[in-house]
Structure 1
Amino acid sequence: MNNNSGAVASQAFIFDMDGTLFETDTILAGVHERIFRTLREEGLYMKPEPPLEQVLGCLGMLLEDIWTTIMPDSSEAARKRADELMLQYELEAMEAGEGRLYEHVESTLRELKSRGFKLFVASNGLEHYVKGIAHHKGISELFDGLYSAGEYQTASKVDLVARLMRDHDIKTGWMVGDRSSDVEAGKSNGLGVVGCAYAVYGRQEELQDADKLITDFRELLELAV
């Protein structure tokens, strides 16, 4: 990890969603079981259900890469249906009040917003999933943009963050996330990178090139200058 953790003048904070703002395992366990039960019922995937831990370990990837990783012998039809089911079941769970943000996320976002920073999400997830979390958890109005690979059809998070920065004329800021794709997206676009060491889905070595590691979301306020 780069030990330069000093604050730099910034316009914006760009956040990953799963494992950064949203504690994904609080919703995914039930969704995971439902997806594979439905795929079996529909005759699309009859092999044993992959372990939930394997799915959680893939968070941060594009969805097509997640299904290819955990269902390498599946058909295109099965993977497409899994996409549809995941979105449907995740939205249903959120509408039922399931799932939660990490501790201190909402209060810290509100404080950053009050200090005049632009806030964004850049996620490799589906559009309605990303926007659904922000809506159901009452934080939509805090963001200047909610960007997802599902909406913009980007091939990588590097491309997604580049588009976000062009659209909003962002020159300086921080990329905040828990996976190597977040580190790469920040570094490739000239941003400082904050690694979320409180997340459990990735491996710590994925964040070794981050400029700062945090174990508490409130530590971001130290960078809000």
Structure 2
Amino acid sequence: MVQSFIFDMDGTLFQTNKILEISLEDAFNQLRSRNEWDKETPIDKYREIMGVPLPKVWEALLPDHSLEVRERTDAYFLKRLVEHIKSGNGALYPNVKEIFRYLTENNCSIYIASNGLTEYLRAIVNYYHLDHWVTETFSIQQIESFNKSDLVKKILEKYGITYGAVVGDRLSDINAAKDNGLIAIGCKFDFAQENELSQADIIIDDLIELKSIVKGTKTRA
């Protein structure tokens, strides 16, 4: 039986799409107010690269802008994300709290490993009281390499985990599982891509399906 579950945050536990577009629009409106952007907000481009660390996001969205502009935009974007979370504009995916409750009742430990920044993750965990079930939340900021596989390795080493699963929607989550000898569970949610999910060991359409995995009835993708 899988006894340790390491969850991604964006696109897996938290419906980032509910605050993503408005926060990105806020950030690019600030750029427009400074005459540093005169095109449409590249929301589609962001959806394509969703799941990568924010510094990489701004390299992709603002390739011709200076590091100073990228960092300023990043800081403002993070500020708006947190404000939208605290205002209740976001939402968890269906059954997050139910599956967390079920996992803890069945002696499973829960961790979060995210490419999101610490302040952003803390806002989500606090607003939805996820720390009631989650042992610890880990941000990519804690890893010098900014590599999710290394972040998951850090969790395994800290808590002595030898058997478990990584639950996420993107290739970085699947690779983090495989690189660390864990089961890769792909979530077919908003930002998921078929070519990436095909590399997962198991694919789920709803988090509640994790109940069957805990029970040992593993449904292969």
**Shorter-chain TM-score category?**
over 0.9
- CA deviations 1:160-183 (Å, max 9, x no partner) are 101111111111101000001111
- CA deviations 1:129-176 (Å, max 9, x no partner) are 112111111212211110011244442101110111111111110100
1:87 counterpart letter in structure 2: L
1:82 counterpart letter in structure 2: T
Aligned to 1:34: 26
- CA deviations 1:21-66 (Å, max 9, x no partner) are 01111111211111111123245x3242433122122211011111
- Structure 2's unaligned 5+ residue stretches are 216-221
User: Structure 2 length normalisation: TM-score?
Assistant: 0.93
Q: How many residues are paired up?
A: 215
Aligned to 2:101: 110
- Paired with 2:34 and 2:69, the residues of 1 have a C-alpha distance of 9
- Paired with 2:208 and 2:54, the residues of 1 have a C-alpha distance of 30
Aligned to 1:204: 194
SS at match of 2:19: helix
**Over aligned residues, Cα RMSD in angstroms?**
1.3
- CA deviations 1:85-114 (Å, max 9, x no partner) are 121101111111110011111111111111
CA contact (8 A) 1:193 1:212 kept: yes
- Paired with 2:204 and 2:81, the residues of 1 have a C-alpha distance of 28
Are 1:23 and 2:15 matched, yes or no? yes
Equivalent of residue 78 in structure 2, options 65, 87, 94: 87
Equivalent of residue 213 in structure 1, options 203, 213, 218: 203
- Structure 1's unaligned 5+ residue stretches are 1-8
Are 1:74 and 2:55 matched, yes or no? no
User: Structure 1 length normalisation: TM-score?
Assistant: 0.91
SS at match of 1:23: coil
CA contact (8 A) 1:177 1:183 kept: yes
CA contact (8 A) 2:138 2:151 kept: yes
- Paired with 2:31 and 2:213, the residues of 1 have a C-alpha distance of 45
Larger RCO (CA under 8 A, 6+ residues apart): 1
CA contact (8 A) 1:131 1:140 kept: no
SS at match of 1:101: coil
Aligned to 2:154: 163
